[in-house]
Amino acid sequence: MDVVVAVRHVDGGSGHTDGASAPDDPSYEAEPRMTSTHGHHEPTGHGQQMGYGEPAGHDQPTRHGQPAGTGERRNGFGIAALVLGIVGVLLFWTALGGIVLGLLAVIFGVLGFRRGRRGVATNGTMAVVGAVLGALALVVSSVLLAMGVAVINSDEFKSYQDCIEQANSQSERQDCARDFDREVDER
């Protein structure tokens, strides 16, 4: 590690110098500056050497060619995917909750993951979790919807509806329900 000694004049805050130029003068302080950890003098981006204690960051390029800290992270898709995925899983038994929110979670999750791979977002894993939860909600809700449509369009359900319409008492309605259960179980 190379150490360069930079000298600055301490004048007690008055703003003037007394013309002294010797570093052994008590009004001068030496500040150690680290220029490299490998013994090389490496510029930080604008031909300046990074000093000891100076924050690294804005002048140093990242792996994507943009200086670190210049662009804000765009994590909205990942957060949206996770929230929509969780709500979709909780509401999978409804068409809106499972299918619509699940589909949106998958879309936002894919977009968020792609942003994470490009380095624009920092929550690629969150986006993937949201997409997986959304896909789960989408699949389960779609299966439930398909089963519901199959039951409603079945002959057994039509005969149950006819029976309920012709029933005059609560006991006749209960008999219709028992007959419907028996027909579904036999199928």
Alpha-carbon distances, residue 123 vs 84, 100, 102, 118 (angstroms):
15, 23, 19, 11
In the chain the beta strands, taken as DSSP E runs, fall at 2-9, 28-36
Provide the residue count of the chain: 187
pLDDT in tens, 57-116: 444 444 555 444 546 788 999 999 999 999 999 999 988 789 999 999 999 999 999 999
Tokens of 128: 């993937």
What confidence tens digit (pLDDT) does each residue in 103-150 have? 999 999 999 999 999 999 999 899 999 999 999 999 999 999 999 899
- Chain-wide mean pLDDT for the chain? 75
pLDDT at 182 over 60: yes
| Identity of the amino acid at 128 | V
Residue 62, both tokens: 């990242």
Is 81 in contact with 127 (CB distance < 8 Å)? Answer: yes
pLDDT given at position 27: 54
Q: What is the pLDDT of residues 7-28, one digit of tens each?
A: 444 445 444 444 444 555 555 4
10: alpha, beta or left, given left = phi > 0 and alpha = psi -120 to 50? beta
**Residue 85, pLDDT score:** 96
- Per-residue pLDDT at 164: 87
Q: Where are the domains of the chain?
A: 1-71, 76-151, 154-186
CB atoms within 10 A of CB 106: 23
CA dist 32 and 5 (Å) reads 5
